[in-house]
Structure 1
Amino acid sequence: MMKTALTLSLALCTMTLISGCNDDNTAASNAPATEAGAEQSQPNHEMTDQWVGRWIGVEGLFLDVSQDDSAGPGHYLLEMQYGLDADQSGTFEGQATDDGISFSRDDGQQLLRAGDGEATGLKWLAEKEDCLVVQAGEGYCRD
């Protein structure tokens, strides 16, 4: 009987120690993870902040990227003429991601990402080196 009580007592102490350790580890791991998350998002918007300004497509298409100060760092307004029809234009809210600027327009969710003229899929931009690409056949470059 005494042996059983001692075993239960030791098991209870061990469980208390283990759960106490887990709580400490969780709290400790949360702080660096939060800092790491902030560090990971920081380069994203630093990279995409360099995209602010005018980008030129083909046949009168364009993209103007500006920071959306009201929404905070890493948020952008994308004014674009992305097609030849009048209804293929507008201003869209975008947000920095690991891969570029995510935004939504009438033709669905899009991702604006860095590339070169070849990545645009447009022969008129093929020689360019500093471009932003939405999808094959839609890209905007700087000289």
Structure 2
Amino acid sequence: MRNAIMIPTLALALAACSTADKAADQVGNAAEVTGDALTNAGTDLVAAGGNAVEDTGNSISGAVAGHDAWVGRWTGVEGTYLVISKGALPDRYTLEMQYTLDSKGSYDGTGTSEGIAFTRPDGKQVLRASDGDATGLKWLAGKKDCLKVKDGEGYCRD
């Protein structure tokens, strides 16, 4: 009788162990699959990020050529002027300017595909290649080698 009770008890114990082992294997497999998915996602993200950084670098290096030719003094109207100096880093410039009768200052600029971008108290600006006619200033009309910040503000060399 004792053997009759022990055999079913032993069978139940073995069945419980087998179920626990299967559950542990399933959890282990799920963790492994999740880990693989995270590794693959991380690798894809690094690859995508690396290409984005590389692409940005390529677009910047090709876009800023030509602004070093603007270094020097430019004359505006009624006492306004612009002096462009090269900065310490490539495609960086210092703009010293008297841009109205009462407003003057020195501003750091960065070469872009559009010109030299800078910020002064009246907001973000971009200095662009132009001619005197496009400035809208009759005193600069007919001049060919000019830079324009906005309508009514320009500087020329000739």
The Cα shift of 1:74 comes to 2.1
Unaligned regions of 5+ residues in structure 2, if any?
A: 1-28
Q: For residues 10-59 of structure 1, give each alpha carbon's deviation from its aligned partner in whole angstroms, at most 9, with x where no partner exists.
A: 99888766654433332222222222211222234423222211112123
Secondary structure of the residue aligned to 2:77 is coil
Residues 1:55 and 2:79 aligned together: no
Change (3 A) 1:119 1:14: farther
- Show the counterpart of 2:134: 119
Q: For residues 77-128 of structure 1, give each alpha carbon's deviation from its aligned partner in whole angstroms, at most 9, with x where no partner exists.
A: 1111212x2x322222222233222222232332212222222111222322
Structure with the largest fraction of helix: 2
Unaligned regions of 5+ residues in structure 1, if any?
A: 1-9
- The amino acid that maps onto 2:132 is G
Structure with the largest fraction of strand: 1
Query: Whose RCO is larger (CA < 8 A, sep 6+)?
Result: 1
- Show the counterpart of 1:107: 122
- The amino acid that maps onto 2:99 is Y
Residues 1:76 and 2:89 aligned together: no
TM-score for both structures, normalised by structure 1 = 0.73
Please show how residues 30-41 of structure 1 align to structure 2 within 5 Å: 30-41=49-60
- The amino acid that maps onto 1:39 is N
Q: Give the distance between the partners of 1:90 and 1:33, measured in 2 at CA.
A: 36
The answer (yes or no) to whether the contact 1:120–1:135 under 8 Å persists in 2 is: yes
Change (3 A) 1:15 1:114: farther
Q: Give the distance between the partners of 1:66 and 1:12, measured in 2 at CA.
A: 59
Change (3 A) 1:12 1:138: same
Change (3 A) 1:15 1:133: same
Which of 53, 59, 65 is equivalent to 2:84?
65
Find the structure with the greater CA-based Rg: 2
**Once the two structures are aligned, what percentage of the paired residues are identical?**
45
Q: Give the distance between the partners of 1:116 and 1:51, measured in 2 at CA.
A: 14
Q: RMSD across aligned C-alpha pairs, in angstroms?
A: 2.9
Q: Give the distance between the partners of 1:29 and 1:63, measured in 2 at CA.
A: 42
